[in-house]
Every structure is written in C-alpha cells, then in structure tokens.
Structure 1
Amino acid sequence: MAAPIVKRVVIAGGGTAGWVAAAALVKQLGPLLDITLVESDEIGTIGVGESTIPTSRSFHQLLGINEAAFMRHTQSTFKLGIAFENWGKIGDRYIHSFGEIGRKSTWMAPFHHFWMEAQAQGFGGSLDDYCYELQAANAERFATGETATLSYAYHLDATLYAQALRKLAEPAGVKRVEGKIDRVERDPESGFITALVLDSGTRIEGDLFLDCTGFRGLLIEQTLETGYEDWTHWLKTNSAYAVQTEAVGPPRPYTRAIAHEAGWRWQIPLQHRVGNGLVFASDYMSDDEAKAKLLAEIDGRPLFDPRLIRYRTGRRRKVWNGNCVALGLASGFIEPLESTSIHLVKIAITRLIESFPFGGISPAATERFNTNSRLEMEHIRDFIILHYHLNRRDEPFWQRCREMDVPETLTQRIAAFRDGALAYQENVDLFRVDSWVQVLMGQGLTPEGYHQLAKMMPPAELRQALSGLKETVAGAVAKLPAHDAFLRSYCPAV
C-alpha cells in the first residue's frame, strides 16, 4: 500500500462534476467518509453540459432521485436521441436514437442484417421504421411508465442540476467550504497531496482529493504535472460560443446537431428556454464569424451575449495520479457532440466507489482504474471522429476531416462495417451496436455485404416479420401523447 487509510475526501471545485461526485459519495458511502467540497461563488462554471444519455437514469436511481421532482427543478425535457443535420452532405438528416432497432432474438446476427436481406429482395422500407424511440422522436411524442417503455435521457439546466445535487448532498453530510484555492500542499516524500490552502488562510487536509476544477486541472495538472494526450490532430474543433434563448415553440424530445462549414451547432430545448451553441475550428472560422453565424441562426431572443469557450481535445495521461482523481473537464475533453461529458463524470465516480481505497491507495487498483478510463475515452473518441470522417461535404474543414488518418481502432470498425455490415460493442464501449449502425449508415456508409444467416429465413416469413414490427412501432407511437403535453402533466416547470 502506498498511503494510509482513506477517510477524508476533499473535492476541489463544484459545478456539475463536483456535486455529482459529492452526492454519489455521500449517498453510497456517507457514514464511512468525511467529505468536504471547496468552491468559490466568484469562479464561474462552463455550464454547457445540458444534454445527457440514458445512463443518467440509472445513476439517479442509485441516488434515490425522484424523476419528476428533479425534472421540475432543473426545467428538464426528455431526450430520445440526437438529430444530425447536414453531416454526410448538406440536406442530409438522420437520428441517432437511444432505442433498439428491430427486436432482440435468438438469431446470431443483429436485426440490420435481416433488413438488408429484405432490401435485396425489394422490400423492408427504411431501417428507421423499426426503432420505437426514433419514430417517437420524429413524431415529437413521449410518455414514460409501464405502458411506454421508451429508452430516454434528459435535456437539463446544468446550473440548476448542480444546485439540485447540492441540496441532496449537504443535508446528507457533505461539508461545503466557500473560497478560492491559493495553493496545494504535498508530502515531500510520497508526492501525495496533503492539503488545500484557501486565500483566506483556511487549510483543508485530506486523504483523497477529487479535482473538479475544469480545464485548468489545478490539482491533476498544475500541481501533479500529470501530462496531457492531445487529440486535436483528429478532432479539429477547439472553440465554442454558447448562448441561451427564449423558447419560441414546444420543446422537441431530441437534441439537434447541425453541421456548418467549420463545425456544428447545437440546440437543446428545455421547458423554459433553449440552450444553443456553435462549435468551430479556429483554423477555419474566426471568432467574429462564429459569433455572427450563431446569432444569425438561433431562434428566439438571446438571454445574454454569447460566451466564448476554448478547449483542447484529449485526455490526462492518468485520471488517477497518486491520491488525486480528476473528474469532468479536469480529466480531459472530447467535445459535446454525443453528450458524453456528464456520463464520464458519473461512470468515473461510480468506478471509484466500486474500488474505493479505504485501506490505502493500491497502485494495482489505480492502474486498473486508469486503464478502464483510458479505453472508455478512446472508444468515445473514435465514435465522435466517425461523424467527422465519414462525410461528403466540399468545404476545406470537411475535406480535411475526410482525408485525415484516423485511429487504427476506428479504421477497423469502418472496414468491418463496409465489408460485411459488422458492428460490435467492446466491453468498455459506451455505445451499443445499434448506435454504431445508426451513425455509420446515417453518415452514408452502405455495407457491401451482410451476414448470410439472414437468408435462412424464408422470404414470406421475413416479409411478415418486418411488416409486423413496423406496424407495432407505428401503433405504439400513435398512442403516445405529444412531448410538450406529457411534460405539462408530468413535471411542469415551477
């Protein structure tokens, strides 16, 4: 063991990452730990992580969070997926939904192979016809409960979300200390962090420190000099403008990701407003051009002047270094395209709870934590690169993305799907087979072959099965209320 027992946990920084960590630790391990969170009201947060993926639901269940109450407080709406517009070429649109395509079966090949066999025989329609969540998103319908088993996530107000988690964490035993961190003290022999010293002179000692200080990485980088693996040669965007606007219509149950000549822009509908942003590569678009483009294309009155955010895609070489674990932006950043930022905080704190070093920090356990974190981020990275790499646009930015070398792991995935429609999910993959299929085909990659097992199904039986599935999906969607109407009855904003 490389350190004494761990009881005192100090969280440096608040925001979504800090309060997610605090709430999870105190709800799961509260009586065993002394948890302190240090933050300053004077230091703002990035606050654009307003879109989640379905893993947030299970995380909330772990914390005992009431869904309707949480959504009411955070002005949330439901999210069934992301609509990608103009990504393959201008005029294209597809949805990466959270749903399953077709249905589970005992066949040794996924549903899309059977759909491809139907296509070869001249029937089957669109692959989209067989996904409940995708069709519900297009129809802007939603419901939850025993009669509506949709897979979904949330659009939420990140600032209100952090406040809600704070209200959960503090009564449960988390001590919040207001103040700016002036310096970080370390043990001269082990190099471990021993205390945070605030500008007020207050000294906060700890056994384990969680760095939630954002891009600056005050503990993990500025203090421990962990190092950063740069991914900007694959992910060329490095800037974003963010602005909130008044809502001008009912909220859709999906995020919009609209590609433009040097990146893309997001539109995230909440109950009381809309979150907007424009992501761009500064080598291909100036700040002034990006800001003007965002303001020209948003709907509704801006609630403040757009805020500029600079970032560098990549990851810390170690997420856990010594007695410091980096969470959120302090651990690295891919980009917000598939709404994975909040998920990465939650999976990291869940992983930490599962292997919490009560008896001392084990180098072997730390290495395993770092390996899993690295693999998960690399697989998400590949999924994001895929959106950029498979395009048929003419602008210099998109040509560069199409022509660049990509990680070998992604090259293999693309080739496997191109050659035989093979899509797969590794052990630490966040995205399922259905996600890879929807994006690969949505970006315009048509496989040259597919699993011949599909030919084992008689044509009449295949036709009947697909027809029945399509009718089942359409019938289920028709029974759903409008998304906006369901929100008003389930969790009206206060």
Structure 2
Amino acid sequence: MADTDTAAPIASIAIVGGGTAGWMAAAALARSLGPRPPAITLIESEALGTIGVGEATIPPIREMNRLLGLAEEEFVRATGATFKLGIAFENWRAVGHRYFHPFGRLGAAIGPLPFHLYWQALVAVRPDAAGTLTAYSLPAMAAAAGTFQQPSDDPRNTLSMMSHAYHFDAGLYARLLRHRAEADGVARLEGRIVSVVRHERDHPAGPMVRSVTLADGRSVAADLFIDCSGFAGLLIGADPGNAYQDWRHWLPCDSALAMPTERTADPLPYTRAIAEQAGWQWRIPLQHRVGNGHVFASDFVERDTAERVLRDSVAGTPLAEARLLRFTPGRRAQAWRGNVVAIGLAAGFLEPLESTSIHLVQSAVTRLLALFPDQGFAPADIAYFNRATAAEYERIRDFLILHYHATERRDSAFWDHVREQAIPDTLAERIDLYRSRGRFFPEPFDLFLEPSWIAVLHGQGITPAQPDPLALAAADRLAEVLPRMRAAIARAVATMPGHAAFLARHIAAPRPPDQR
C-alpha cells in the first residue's frame, strides 16, 4: 500500500464483475487512460450470470457510445436496438389517464423565462390558443405519430428539438462493450471470488484491498479495485463502516418479474410504464422481441398474483419464464472507500421507472475518469466523488417518488400508501415552489432537468396556483407566437418516416440466432 504522500501512478486495475457495468467501466478506462493505460483485468464468472433487465436508457448513453467510438448504426445493429423518444405513463395519475415524458426541450426561447411559464400564462387567459403542453415537444409529437428522425445540429432547424435514447438488449450491449474493451487490451479472467485480502493498515480514505482470491486458489492483486459485482457488493459490501441506506419507506417497490415475449407489431419509439394495483409494468420494444416486466411491492401483492397480472397483459408468446429480481432501493453510504470504487448495483439501486440504471453506471465511470487517482488516493477527491454520487442518487430518488406521491388513485392500499406517506423535504420544497407560480430551478447533480420535471409535474396533475406575472404580461404576443410554434412542430413530424421504416431502411439488425 502506498503512503498518502506518494504520487505513484496506478499501475493495475481489477474490475470485479462483468455485465454492462463491468464491461462499460473496462472499455471506458482502457479507451481513456492514455496510450499506456494501467493493466486492466476483469474478473467474472459465467456461472453467476448477470441481472440484465436494463433494456431502456436515457439520451446521455449516446455520449458514452461516442467516447467508445461506437457509431450509432453499429450500436443499433449489434444490440437489436430501437429508438426511444420518452416514456408514456398510463394509469399513474388516475386509471385511464395517460401522459408522456419526452426527451428534448419544450418549446423555443421566447424571452428570459423558461418556456413552460409562458405556456401556463397563455393557458390562464387564452386556453384556446395555448394547446397542450406536449404539442410543444417534437419528440412527444413524433412518438404519438409513431415516427422518428435523427436530430439536427442546426439550431435553426426544428429537428434540433429532437433528442433520443434507445431500447436494446442489455446482454448484447455487454458483449459489444467486452469486444471493445478486449480490443483495447483488457484481460478477462474467468473465476469466482471467494475471499478478499486487505492491507493491515487502513488509508485515510478508507480500508484498502490488497488482492482477491478465486475459488481455484489464484490471487489477483491491484492498485485500484472497481466493484461491479451487483447486489452482492463483494468488495464494497464487506466494509462494515459503509452501511447501505434503505429507501423502501419512500419507494416501497422491492421486486420485479421480467419476461421477454415475441414481437407482435412494429416497435413503438417509446417505453410504456403502466401502473397496476401494487406497482407498474414496463413494455420495451426491441427489434427482435419485447421486454416486459412487473415491478411491485411485496408488502402489497404476492409474487404469484404479480406474475399472473404480467402474463395476462402481454401480447406476444413468452420466450422464457418470468424471472424474479428482489432488490432494496437505496445506496451505499459511500460508493468509493479506500481503493475500492463501487459502480452499478454494488453502489445502489433505483427501480427502472425512468430508465436510470445504465446511466448511473455511465455517470460513475465518467466521474471516476474525472477524478482518476494516483496511489496517494487523495481523500478530498474521494469525498467529492461520494458527495456527487449521493446527490445524484437522491435527486433521482425524489423524481421517482413524485410519480407515486402525486396521484389521484384511491383504488388500492398501495396507492393510498404512496399518496399519503411523508416525502423528502427536498421534493416537498420543489413541489411547493411549482405549485405557487410554476417555477422550477435546477439543483447541482440533477440528472433530470426542467423539461422532465415539468412533464411529470403537469402529467401527474400538479398545477400552479397563479401564472408567473412576467409571463402573463406577454399573453397577447404569446397568442400569436405559440400557435406558429405548434404548427412548425406538426410540419416536422409530417416529414418524418415511421419508426419501423426508419429502422428497416437505415440500420435494421439481424435477429440473434436463438431468436430467429
């Protein structure tokens, strides 16, 4: 173990666990750490498998793919991907109600205020001229029409309002990442870890791992360890001073059933999130199949009942049995301790309602690169990593709680519980501010920015008591400008090809051999 005043560079990195988390970390580190990167070894056991239910993402995934040199066409072909313009929320506010959380921006710049404040002001005085909020989102209108077009880089072009992510096969993505990582020099080691050897003397930044021992007796030493071992948290979880913060009192869903089915129709360019009596279901369309799942609270519904709800609602023939995943929403108190950095499920878990799981892996990898250590492991850098990680998880947590808390449903004990439970002060303050005059201000480490919060606040039925006074003063001009804005968006949608036609024409992927 190096002393704290040494600045010897990291010479070796051991990544514990594969899957999307492990191979993304491996590929990004190998690509980003210079012409002579540290020796990187990834240890995984095929016998253990991976969780692998993450099949939907948010737009920043495109940044990671660019970092790794993955062209969009190559990525879509290799992973059976489709394009995602947002999420349709069905039955959340009330049974039968539907709203859309789109990617991209809302409207265009009109004045010094955010666009939604001008729209709310016009709704207050001229609702006939205001239209719906989603009419000012190009991705939302394209999703409703089942169309897709890649965005434009020209800010004068209406297509610059587009933003998109993907639905894809997480297993195929991990395979693609592995190929990239190994091509850049990462060594894969097959094996199951049975013990962790720590240094006798702790570092000011926390306990230090010397090596890990595999079941066949081999020992792997490294300067830096990255724990991608999933819920087990083989390295980070073995530290008794690093408790796991349980958030089930705010987010009571603790189980999920995942079941792929055959595709029965053209893939939609969005995810569906369908609220149920004690949780919700996802529908994620890929090129070669549909991903389905039921996230539920085990305190409110039995597993067999949850599986029956899932089976009775899917359209296609199941391709596999429903697979159960148990989880505890929350996070580690510290994602980085000593020379161990936890990434992915080892660091924490938030249910996939807003498709954040893969992004949290990406975010952690990006943050690690920005704070990449030497063997001194500066405590200030590690403290910042942990502070930023905690804040990001908490901001996402609040956003997820909003979907449950702001509901009019009174048809089950589950919805009564989530509607009436106390919420974090950080979320309550944001809701109160918005209820007053429709105002929203970003906080440091927000993943979801103003357009996303406004879409969900509005979609869940939270409305301002009064419009913003500055926006209200511009109402006469708004009555002329906003209809023209909606018309420009409608014209852009009319020129787009259908989503399935876009895939077929440009980047259609052959089906995997086992699903033809």
**TM above 0.5, one fold?**
yes
Match of 2:195 among 171, 177, 183: 183
- Aligned residue number for residue 314 of structure 2: 298
Contact 1:216 1:222 in 2 (8 A): no
| Cα drift, residue 115 of structure 1 | 1.0
Q: Which amino acid aligns with 2:467?
A: Y
| Cα drift, residue 2 of structure 1 | 3.2
Is 1:113–2:117 an aligned residue pair? yes
| Cα drift, residue 462 of structure 1 | 1.4
- Aligned residue number for residue 172 of structure 1: 184
Q: Which amino acid aligns with 2:131?
A: G
- Aligned residue number for residue 452 of structure 1: 469
Q: Which amino acid aligns with 2:424?
A: P
Contact 1:245 1:302 in 2 (8 A): yes
| Cα drift, residue 456 of structure 1 | 3.0
Q: Which amino acid aligns with 1:292?
A: R
String of CA shifts for 1:343-362, please: whole Å, max 9, x gaps: 11111111111111125201
- Aligned residue number for residue 98 of structure 1: 103
CA distance in 2, matches of 1:7, 1:224: 28
- Aligned residue number for residue 438 of structure 1: 455
String of CA shifts for 1:191-242, please: whole Å, max 9, x gaps: 3101111111111100110000101111101355521111000000000100
Matches within 5 A, 1:61-100: 61-100=66-105
CA distance in 2, matches of 1:259, 1:70: 31
Q: Which amino acid aligns with 1:428?
A: F
Tell me the secondary structure at the aligned position of residue 107 of structure 2. Answer: coil
| Cα drift, residue 145 of structure 1 | 5.3
* Structure 2, unpaired ranges of 5+: 511-516
String of CA shifts for 1:255-308, please: whole Å, max 9, x gaps: 000000100000000000000000000111001101111011111000111001
- What is the TM-score when the length of structure 1 is the normalising length? 0.98
- Aligned residue number for residue 438 of structure 2: 421
Q: Which amino acid aligns with 2:187?
A: K
Number of equivalenced pairs? 492
| Cα drift, residue 21 of structure 1 | 0.2
- Seq. identity, %: 47
CA distance in 1, matches of 2:48, 2:264: 32
How has the CA–CA distance of structure 1 residues 225 and 283 changed in structure 2, closer, same or farther, with 3 Å as cutoff? same
Match of 2:211 among 190, 195, 199: 195
Q: Which amino acid aligns with 1:141?
A: T
Q: Which amino acid aligns with 1:58?
A: E
String of CA shifts for 1:152-193, please: whole Å, max 9, x gaps: 001010000000000000011101001111111100112310
* Structure 1, unpaired ranges of 5+: none
Tell me the secondary structure at the aligned position of residue 237 of structure 2. Answer: coil
Q: Which amino acid aligns with 1:25?
A: L
Is 1:45–2:50 an aligned residue pair? yes
How has the CA–CA distance of structure 1 residues 24 and 455 changed in structure 2, closer, same or farther, with 3 Å as cutoff? same
Contact 2:45 2:191 in 1 (8 A): yes
Tell me the secondary structure at the aligned position of residue 221 of structure 1. Answer: helix
Match of 1:310 among 318, 326, 329: 326
Match of 1:234 among 247, 250, 267: 250
- Aligned residue number for residue 224 of structure 2: 208
Match of 2:133 among 127, 137, 162: 127
How has the CA–CA distance of structure 1 residues 396 and 458 changed in structure 2, closer, same or farther, with 3 Å as cutoff? closer
Greater Cα offset, 131-140 or 448-457:
448-457
Q: Give RMSD over aligned pairs.
A: 1.3
Contact 1:15 1:45 in 2 (8 A): yes
